[in-house]
Structure 1
């Protein structure tokens, strides 16, 4: 299935398998799952969750001291 993903300000259309998780999606985009958070319809989802349709945004986690 094709999904549209926002990564920061960039939008991409990505082909994924229905059984793929958001972690699989991040890895396919060469993004480290430890460094990014996935939002679906504005709510964070566990990366282990299977991909579902909705407004998907990927944000880089920023931390500092």
Structure 2
């Protein structure tokens, strides 16, 4: 990500997913932190949707239970 427009693109993609409860996206760090309901959404669909809608490569870094 290179600008705030990139942040908005990722946030928009996240907002289209039922089950996303909260997200924080930073182009400066190149990271997004996403809290989601695992009964409505799985991490594979989450990552795929961001990649498909934004064109950015997504890497899963950490999962908290």
TM-score by length of 1: 0.31
Question: Going by fraction, where is helix more abundant, 1 or 2?
Answer: 2
TM-score by length of 2: 0.31
Question: Going by fraction, where is strand more abundant, 1 or 2?
Answer: 1
Higher relative contact order (CA closer than 8 Å, sequence separation 6+):
1
